[in-house]
Amino acid sequence: MRLQHWLTRAVLGFGMTMLIGVGGMQAQSSATIHFDAASKVFRIDAAGTTYAFGINDAGQLQSLYWGEQIGKDDHLSAAHRMAGVASFDSAETTTPNEYAGWGGGLFVEPALKASFADGNRDVVLTYVSHSIRGNELTVRMKDVSLALTVDLHYTVNPGTGIVGRSAVITNDTNTPITIEQAAAATWNLPHGTDYSLRYLTGRWAGEWNLQKQNILPGMTVLESRRGSTGHQNNPWFAIERGEQADEESGDVWFGALAWSGSWRITVEQDQLQQIRITGGYNSFDFSYKLLPGKQLQTPIFYGGYSHHGIGEASRMLHRFELSSILPQAPMPKPRPVVYNSWEATEFAVTEAGQESLAEKAASIGVERFVMDDGWFGQRKDDHAGLGDWYVNQQKFPNGLKPLIDKVHSLGMDFGLWVEPEMVNPDSDLYRKHPDWVLNFTGRPRSEARNQLVLNLARKDVREYVFSFLDDLLSHNQIAFLKWDYNRNWSEPGWPAVAPDEQKAVYIEYVNNLYGILRELRAKHPQVEIESCSGGGGRVDLGILGLTDEVWPSDNTDPFDRLRIQDGFTYAYTPGVMMAWVTDSPNWVNERTTSVAYRFLSSMQGSLGVGANLDKWQPADFATAKEMIAAYKQVRETVQHGSLYRLISPRDGSEASVTESVALDRSQAVLFTFLHSSQMGYPFPRVFLRGLDPQQRYRISAIHGAMAKDTPVEASGSYWMAHGVDVAMRGDMQAAAFRFDSSSNTNPSR
Ligand code: DGJ
């Protein structure tokens, strides 16, 4: 077993056989879910990870183990409800529950809290039954006296061992139940005080900051109360154990919530040093009236474990997203090179202006031309037009067709910006339907960017939004929608329904958003969609199940982007991370950078161009053409390969380096950045990772130069152990290299 286990790990470490479908690899890993009737222990094994819980003597589900895979024959002792502590901490509190109702004497974070019509607010869940079907386990629990049942769903991804958990709450009583808190899952870690938590914070144009803090007694709350995912926190966490954990070694538990509405993840170290992570709907301002016979389904909370540091944890998430989450999973197409008009023209789009940009974009190898905001209604600026989705006659006298035809004639496909969930008060839609927005009757309606939020929970609003998008896609040859969402909620009232049903807006809104996206995709399967929310305000595993890419930030400064992109990749794959080359000096920091620097920064993700090409010089076009051609040779590796963050741009680092390795290890791409040389020190030697030690790789420069004595070709072990010196000095410098093995037969590389 140890040998077999080591083999699994070795394979994991090199990223060889793990992928299911992505990049042409076949699935070779499998998962097992087993119930031992004697000990009443459930055990889920996949990809070197074991997750186990049992039914304890009180009938509760109790976590037993989550971590590196243990031997097949290793016996996990039956679950035993833990003792309480004195008269103050009850057994409910001290027992690591898989999913606890607030009831009995529970003082830690509950997964479920409910009020019954008779005033009872006590929920104590115990095991009823279970079923195992392939990679899915469902365990039914029920309150000890009332007909409130909870089905806990577990799915396991064979390639990564990532477990997806969610709950379905059913009211089988004959009176309504008010659900006041509903989590998807609680994850428990072994007792200890040497854990640290990583999480992502941000704001508009400053997203994806990686934070790290020790987990101390008490609770850390990561959340959004904004109605959508939000820039402020992202629904992702990672927990490392011990001081030794680093990028490529140590135990890491991680999780991500698939929900694009208000959410909450709590990380708790309780009074007995037990670590619990609970996540699901945000309980703030939450209440869901569950009628008799009805069900409430929670989002899915995914969790995984890595024995090889946070770098491997990220790669597992990347593989999981590409192979199982994205709409095109398990084989997402590479993202095309995009041109987007926003920074060039803002709202001043016209047929002639867009055609001129399109010609120039096509000349450098762009594959998709996207017209951003400004093409519809009376949209001169951000004060008017949202909601009126007809083509602006002054700007496009003959509709969109001439521009779309022109874009097609240039060999590109056409994409269009929309912001379907919003309305400007200065719009025909709002004048006709002022009741369609989120609002409290008779109260002020707070505007942000001069717009209000349409209440998508309403049936009529949902129908309107679906039908205008359906029309747009049915009557125009559109290959791509950039779906924007430029504010968060205020006054989240829904006056059309009874007061005790209004808070359901937090759930129904998002479910209708998902429903619209799902139906549009089914009816227009050729259309790809980007999730954008003033940059990275709506990025999560829920929206990623229905969109093909995301816009991580409105901040397009290529230097800031290094940190933004670094933070992004902790949770999300570079395969969905759009990154544009824009103008210099950049509007964010007035920083000046070369065209090559801007390209190399953007080439770490899905490359786009957002510069005003009408102002470019011939030399800029020449560089762009070369860079785009080079990118097309490596994009499969960058977008779908294994990412190694070799030197982080965080914490004032003077240098940063990333490496992407193709899944079959036939190619690697290295991006190196020097922020400013100091004291004449050389650039740190770069030690590659993840190559096949036996294969020989030829190095070539995409841009910049390696040290003169660098061999033209060497083994994978040479590049990993000896490393490579990059010849780079100065300020805001960048270089990139590719390493191709002799077995690289893929013509696109
Ligand atoms: C915010 C987006 O993030 C930008 O890229 C751009 O599309 C503007 N909205 C348009 O209003």
% of the chain beyond a pLDDT of 90: 93
Q: What's the gap in Å between 616 CA and the centre of ligand 1?
A: 22
Query: Nearest residue CA, atom 5 of ligand 1?
Result: 554
318 lies in the same domain as 373: no
Catalytically active residues, by annotation: 484, 554
Q: Which positions ≥6 away from 695 have C-beta within 8 Å?
A: 665, 666, 715, 716, 741, 742, 743
Domain that holds residue 268: 2-325
CB atoms within 10 A of CB 714: 17
> 308 in a domain, yes or no?
yes
417 lies in the same domain as 524: yes
State phi, psi for 54 to the nearest 5 degrees.
Answer: -135, 170
> 577 in a domain, yes or no?
no
Query: Nearest residue CA, atom 2 of ligand 1?
Result: 534
218 lies in the same domain as 260: yes
Per-residue pLDDT of 434-462, as tens digits, reads 999 999 999 999 999 999 999 999 999 99
Q: Which atom of ligand 1 is nearest to the CA of 533?
A: 3
User: What are 360's two structure tokens?
Assistant: 């120039």
486 lies in the same domain as 417: yes
Which residue, of 296, 325, 354, is where some domain finishes? 325
Which residue, of 547, 569, 587, is where some domain finishes? 547
Per-residue pLDDT of 552-567, as tens digits, reads 999 999 999 999 999 9
Q: Which atom of ligand 1 is nearest to the CA of 346?
A: 10
Q: What's the gap in Å between 726 CA and the centre of ligand 1?
A: 37
Ligand 1 pocket by Cβ (under 6 Å): 342, 372-373, 417, 484, 486, 532, 534-535, 551, 554
Q: Is residue 672 exposed (0-12), middle (13-18) or buried (19+ Cβ within 10 Å)?
A: buried
Per-residue pLDDT of 297-355, as tens digits, reads 999 999 999 999 999 999 999 999 999 999 999 999 999 999 999 999 999 999 999 99
> 607 in a domain, yes or no?
no
Helix axes 309-320, 558-571, angle to 10 degrees: 80
> 214 in a domain, yes or no?
yes
- The total number of structural domains that make up the chain: 3
Distance linking the first and last C-alpha atoms of the chain: 39
Q: What's the gap in Å between 302 CA and the centre of ligand 1?
A: 30
pLDDT, average across residues 602-630: 98
> 737 in a domain, yes or no?
yes
> 209 in a domain, yes or no?
yes
CATH label of the domain that carries residue 253: 2.70.98.60
508 lies in the same domain as 389: yes
Higher pLDDT, 304 or 746: 304
Which residue, of 301, 325, 349, is where some domain finishes? 325
> 82 in a domain, yes or no?
yes
State phi, psi for 647 to the nearest 5 degrees.
Answer: -135, 125
Residue 22: is its pLDDT beyond 70?
A: no
180 lies in the same domain as 31: yes
Residues 749, 746: Cα–Cα separation, whole Å: 6
Residues 335, 327: Cα–Cα separation, whole Å: 13
Q: Which atom of ligand 1 is nearest to the CA of 372?
A: 7
84 lies in the same domain as 205: yes
Per-residue pLDDT of 183-206, as tens digits, reads 999 999 999 999 999 999 999 999
125 lies in the same domain as 206: yes
Among 105, 259, 271, which residue's Cα sits nearest to residue 182? 259
Report the mean per-residue pLDDT for the chain. 94
Per-residue pLDDT of 351-405, as tens digits, reads 999 999 999 999 999 999 999 999 999 999 999 999 999 999 999 999 999 999 9
CATH label of the domain that carries residue 651: 2.60.40.1180
Q: What's the gap in Å between 434 CA and the centre of ligand 1?
A: 25
295 lies in the same domain as 366: no
pLDDT band at 83 (very low <50, low <70, confident <90, very high): confident
pLDDT, average across residues 481-487: 98
pLDDT band at 749 (very low <50, low <70, confident <90, very high): low
pLDDT score at 84: 87
Query: Nearest residue CA, atom 3 of ligand 1?
Result: 534
- Lowest mean pLDDT: which of 337-341, 543-547, 611-615, 741-745? 741-745
CATH label of the domain that carries residue 427: 3.20.20.70
Per-residue pLDDT of 395-445, as tens digits, reads 999 999 999 999 999 999 999 999 999 999 999 999 999 999 999 999 999
Q: What's the gap in Å between 611 CA and the centre of ligand 1?
A: 14
Q: Which atom of ligand 1 is nearest to the CA of 482?
A: 7
pLDDT score at 747: 52
Contacts by residues 392-401 (CB-CB < 8 Å, ≥ 24 positions apart): 395/349, 395/350, 395/351, 396/350, 396/351, 397/351, 398/351, 400/375, 400/476, 401/476
Give the predicted TM-score (pTM) of the model: 0.95
pLDDT, average across residues 607-612: 98
Q: What's the gap in Å between 482 CA and the centre of ligand 1?
A: 9
Residues 377, 699: Cα–Cα separation, whole Å: 53
> 598 in a domain, yes or no?
no
351 lies in the same domain as 305: no
pLDDT, average across residues 521-544: 98
Residue 558 and residue 596 in contact, taking contact as beta carbons nearer than 8 Å: no
Query: Nearest residue CA, atom 1 of ligand 1?
Result: 534
316 lies in the same domain as 381: no
Residue 5: is its pLDDT beyond 90?
A: no
175 lies in the same domain as 250: yes
Q: Which atom of ligand 1 is nearest to the CA of 551?
A: 3
pLDDT, average across residues 680-704: 97
Q: What's the gap in Å between 534 CA and the centre of ligand 1?
A: 6
